[in-house]
Amino acid sequence: MPVEKTEGSPLSDSHGADGANQAGAAVLQVAVDTPLRQALEYLPPPGVARETIAAGSRLWVPLGRRRVAGVVVGQADRSSLAPERLRAALGLIDQQPLLDPALLQLLRWTSEYYHHPLGEVVAAAMPVALREGAPADALTQWLALTEAGRIAGQQGEPRRAPRQRELMVLLGQGSGRLAADALDAALPRWRELARSLGARGWTTLAAERAAAPSPPETTAASAGPALSAEQDQAVQSIDAARGSFAAFVLQGATGSGKTEVYIQATARALGAGGSVLVLVPEIGLTPQLVGRFRERFAVPIAVLHSGLGDAERLAAWRQARSGQARIVIGTRSAVFAPLRSLALIIVDEEHDSSFKQQEGGCRYSARDLAVRRAQLGALPVVLGSATPALETLQNLQRGRYRRLPLPRRAGQAPPPKLALIDLRAHPAHAGLATPVLQNLQRHLDAGGQALVYINRRGYAPTLLCTGCGWMAPCRACDARLTVHQKAGRLRCHHCGADQPLPAHCPRCGHAVKAVGQGTERIEETLAAQFPGAGLARLDRDSARTAGGLESVVEAMTQGTARILVGTQMITKGHHFPAVTLVVVLNADGGLFSTDFRAAERLAQTIVQVAGRAGREATQGEVLIQTEYPDHPLLQSLLAEGYEGFAAAALAERAAARWPPFSRLAALRCSATDMAAALGFLASARTLAGQPPGITLLGPVAAGMARRAGRHHAQLLVESAERATLHRFLEPWLRAVDGLPTPRQLRWSLDVDPLDTQ
């Protein structure tokens, strides 16, 4: 993402809180969790001086007949509402701002750049409890005896309620009060008992701000491996940029030691009194990275990801905000973590599409926001990847980012050898060609392990009738149901539809058979071919069970599993030292896609999964099954690696004027029938007219037009210049807001979309 400001574009800081502290400001601008694009206006709460209400503080405000929590984002001299319509806020929640100015500025910029309602952006950046008015700081609850309770306890009350009596005695043994956590351990049902005692006036329940824990004595990292010259240079460069904005691209082959650079750069930032934010693309990578950091740092580490419960997320958020947690590690939404004295941001596997929010809410890119947050905060950001996104490589070419290369693998392991298996000459049996089976046997005999990659979970992608040709469809999507043999189910991987696996065709009664391969079927085939080798499978189905991911990683690490079959989950962040062979089974799927990003994603996947082979001193081997061995993408990967592919791909993008050489936004719509979706988008296009510098493409049905019972369509907006695109989008969306929309119709805007189908 380009990081320069452009006059008149959402990259400008001219909108929002510039007037937040104007003398004589009388109206509060409050961001409330609603789809309204502007902040709402309120008078200060009765008895609260407006000068004491800082931006970033929460207020209770009336919204219709409800009372909701909102965040003050600014103040104004006068209201845009008539005086009789202007209502007063109901009360102040925070005496000190919940969100500091830097984070509030980032949230405002996010709202402007992605053209999404500010209230929804601010709400999404906070844990649920804070949106509902919970205290910003952790509280300690205390249950205490009242004077009447103390006297009653001395008299043996309550005589007819032994459990309540037990609680009274417990409180009377000490100072007359106990903290909730101590009561939880001693008497788990104490709250129910306390309600009865409180009704009689014998106990009171109070809360006070929890005492801040003592800071750790040291923040230095424990000793790690000696750095290579390239690693040391990378750490020195990052540290030298402390206190100023700089974007670094840490590019090195899988196994080249990027994580050690992250750790050493973090140690320098902590030693200077700062805190560090580390972003990873998926939850599955978080425990591994957290484990590495906890081994090396004696400081609290907060973890933030979507798998946490509300209470866990709130606790981690409070740790970050209070300064107790000096390191925050998390997935996409952690980019909004409220760290104190933020000194360094690290984005691991920056190319990964998981950093882009693609469903629901604001469609932001956490990688791009990390760069913007670093720019706003004048601090360095490190983007790490063996296969940087083409947008990142273009920023390198234009001098906006600086490359930190790690050309060698740790331990001097040579790069793996890549070879193509021509399926025209070696037909596959049950998905595996004979040369693949022979090489698997050779590597197993030599004591190695193997990864078999197929990006298709389940047993088979299609259930086919041998009589009439019927193929099991999803009733709610334009997709076929996937066979899950072990579970005896047919499932849709798009909407989640689930039904029993039939033994016969429901249309003609003939036998049915599974067609194609998924991870389950490949696992079955390999078990039959290599009965003595332990097998493991890693995909979304196997990782869904409690401890599923951890058990697979442990089996591979300890060697009880010799062959691992998996989807893209095996390409990300795992270190299996004994793996010497990687097999890619379905590489052809991305060679002829209509999505202009498909080739980039395929090349990244092949290089990433190839990087799992030969992580130690032994050179690894990578076999790619394909029916198109002469395809330019595969040939460039073999001859020149990812760098050669990326150079050619950037030249093609430049010639076609596709991103990163142009800017896109997608207006997407879904409805219960396609005519309504296309009609809405056609009206939106009419509103646009023929603006200079803007190209409108569509409206057209989406690549998968029907999903989950709804019909999807889109209208693409393209411009050669980012500023031109955003100048057009802002007034156009205000006009689109005014279009009549049936209740069943939904629409959204995706700026910098990853998927254009």
CATH architecture of 413-460+516-653: 3-Layer(aba) Sandwich (3.40)
The pLDDT, as a whole number, for residue 214 is 57
378: left (phi over 0), alpha (psi -120 to 50) or beta: left
CATH architecture of 17-131: 3-Layer(aba) Sandwich (3.40)
Give the burial class of 259: count Cβ atoms within 10 A of its Cβ; 0-12 exposed, 13-18 middle, 19 or more buried: buried
The pLDDT, as a whole number, for residue 23 is 36
pTM of the model: 0.86
The pLDDT, as a whole number, for residue 14 is 29
Distance of CA 243 to the CA centre of its chain: 27
CA atoms within 13 A on the CB side of 316: 25
Distance CA 49, CA 117 (A): 28
Per-residue pLDDT tens over the stretch 268-292: 999 999 999 999 998 766 777 888 8
- Helix axis angle for 519-529 and 434-445, nearest 10°, is 60
- Tell me, yes or no, if the two domains 229-410 and 413-460+516-653 fold the same way: yes
Distance of CA 635 to the CA centre of its chain: 33
> Would you kindly state where each structural domain of the chain is located, as residue ranges?
17-131, 139-209, 229-410, 413-460+516-653, 663-751
Per-residue pLDDT tens over the stretch 38-81: 899 999 999 888 888 999 999 999 998 899 999 999 998 888 88
The domain 663-751 is placed in CATH, from the list 3.40.50.300, 3.10.20.30, 3.30.70.600, 3.30.70.360, at: 3.30.70.600
When pLDDT is averaged across residues 721-745 and rounded to a whole number, the result is 93
Do 472 and 460 contact (CB within 8 A), yes or no? Answer: no
Per-residue pLDDT tens over the stretch 457-506: 899 999 999 999 999 999 999 999 999 998 899 999 999 899 999 999 99
Phi, psi angles (nearest 5°) of residue 110:
-60, -45
Do 355 and 366 contact (CB within 8 A), yes or no? Answer: yes
Kindly tell me if the per-residue pLDDT of 210 is higher than 80.
no
Average pLDDT, the chain: 88
Joined tokens for residue 283: 């939850």
CATH class assigned to 229-410? alpha beta
Do 722 and 6 contact (CB within 8 A), yes or no? Answer: yes
The pLDDT, as a whole number, for residue 329 is 95
The pLDDT, as a whole number, for residue 462 is 94
**What percent of the chain shows pLDDT beyond 70?**
93
Distance CA 383, CA 171 (A): 54
Distance CA 598, CA 605 (A): 11
Distance CA 311, CA 304 (A): 12
Q: Residue 616: pLDDT band by 50, 70, 90 thresholds?
A: low
Distance CA 330, CA 341 (A): 18
Kindly tell me if the per-residue pLDDT of 381 is higher than 50.
yes
